[in-house]
């Protein structure tokens, strides 16, 4: 990505900081190229070449829990369900497992709790006393087909209600029609409306048509000041896949190399097993380094994933697999 290397030379030479955004650069977007077959080959070989077992697997799964945005975004959500989810967020593993593994002192908890606007206050009250942030989906989630004024108001109202992080959806039509400046302006307005809150931009990768569009959209969102780029709403037919993770991680790496700004990554949707989770985490580690496998730069959008992780950890601790209904979330 041939970004102008001189626009922010002082920041490049200083300590890497959170993304502040850069001026729109259409020439950089026009230069984006993707070798689809190479991407698919790289992803296919990643899981074959890398595996973790026994205590190492448990360590990776514990890390995954700390990077998880535990989520409920269903039409039948209720206050009671959100409260139960928050209680699970504060205590993601059963006490007997913590005791068996000797890790009670680690204070394992999730990275965030993601809910609709209506449940922000409920989540805040349920999480009182913890450091777990409340994440609110905004801007007409999941389709994004609401008036811009309404989208901006939704962000501001979510922050006013106490949300510390905002997950927004982009207008896919700007990507599909190649109107990159409109997408940049849109995300810039969301960034301004979110103030100091962490802004995560959902690309809805499964609806963007090509991997090239995914990478271009990722660059535009980062240029506009996104703190995270996120794959999916979880409502699309195709959500987080390894090719999307690879393309978006390389976009993050290139953007960081040229600007000095770190941007986080959040795969979401379709990651329901510990095995899939580890595949994404290993790819992130190989492409971006161990530094990215921390909650301030990596999140996993998940609901049922935590049940399988707890089940795998119980198998390590006891030698037996339990049924999923013993690891309910909400």
Catalytic residues: 167, 230, 266
Residue 205: name the closest of 177, 238, 253, 182 by CA: 238
The span from the CA of 265 to the CA of 157, in Å, is 25
The span from the CA of 237 to the CA of 162, in Å, is 32
The span from the CA of 93 to the CA of 107, in Å, is 10
If phi > 0 it is left, if psi is from -120 to 50 it is alpha, else beta; for residue 324 that is alpha
Are 293 and 287 contacting, i.e. CB atoms less than 8 angstroms apart?
Answer: no
Question: 32: which DSSP letter?
Answer: -
- Which residues, 6 or more positions from 183, have their beta carbon under 8 angstroms from its beta carbon? 170, 171, 174, 175, 217, 220, 221, 224
Question: What are the Cα distances from residue 221, in Å, to 180, 191, 218, 251, 328?
Answer: 10, 10, 5, 11, 35
Encoded tokens for 82: 């959100």
Question: 68: which DSSP letter?
Answer: E
| Burial track 255-287 (b if 16+ CB lie within 10 A, e otherwise) | bbebbbbbbbbbbbbbbebbebbbbbbbbbbeb
Overall size of the chain counted in residues:
330
Encoded tokens for 200: 């995560």
The span from the CA of 127 to the CA of 27, in Å, is 45
The span from the CA of 146 to the CA of 269, in Å, is 22
Encoded tokens for 168: 């927004």
């Amino acid at each position: 990505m041939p970004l102008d290397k001189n626009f922010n030379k002082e920041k490049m030479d200083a300590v890497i900081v959170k993304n502040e955004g850069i001026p729109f650069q259409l020439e950089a977007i026009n230069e984006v190229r993707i070798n689809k077959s190479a991407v698919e080959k790289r992803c296919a070989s990643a899981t074959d070449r890398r595996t973790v077992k026994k205590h190492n697997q448990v360590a990776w799964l514990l890390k995954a829990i700390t990077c998880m945005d535990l989520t409920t975004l269903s039409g039948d959500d209720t206050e009671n369900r959100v409260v139960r989810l928050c209680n699970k967020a504060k205590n993601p593993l059963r006490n007997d497992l913590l005791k068996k593994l000797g890790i009670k002192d680690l204070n394992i908890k999730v990275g965030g709790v993601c809910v609709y606007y209506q449940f922000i206050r409920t989540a805040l009250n349920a999480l009182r006393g913890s450091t777990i942030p409340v994440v609110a989906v905004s801007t007409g989630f999941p389709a994004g087909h609401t008036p811009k004024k309404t989208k901006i108001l939704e962000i501001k109202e979510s922050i006013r209600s106490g949300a510390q992080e905002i997950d927004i959806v982009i207008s896919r039509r700007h990507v599909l029609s190649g109107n990159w400046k409109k997408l940049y302006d849109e995300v810039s307005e969301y960034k301004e409306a979110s103030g100091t809150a962490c802004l995560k931009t959902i690309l809805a990768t499964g609806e963007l048509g090509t991997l090239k569009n995914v990478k271009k959209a990722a660059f535009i969102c980062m240029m506009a000041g996104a703190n995270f780029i996120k794959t999916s709403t979880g409502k699309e037919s195709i959500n987080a896949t390894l090719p999307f993770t690879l393309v978006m991680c390389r976009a993050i790496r290139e953007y960081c190399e040229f600007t000095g700004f770190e941007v986080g990554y959040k795969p979401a949707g379709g990651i329901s097993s510990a095995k899939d989770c580890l595949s994404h985490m290993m790819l992130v580690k190989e492409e971006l380094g161990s530094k990215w496998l921390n909650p301030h730069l990596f999140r996993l959008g998940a609901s049922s994933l935590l049940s399988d992780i707890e089940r795998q950890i119980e198998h390590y601790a006891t030698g037996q697999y339990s049924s999923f209904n013993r690891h309910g979330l909400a």
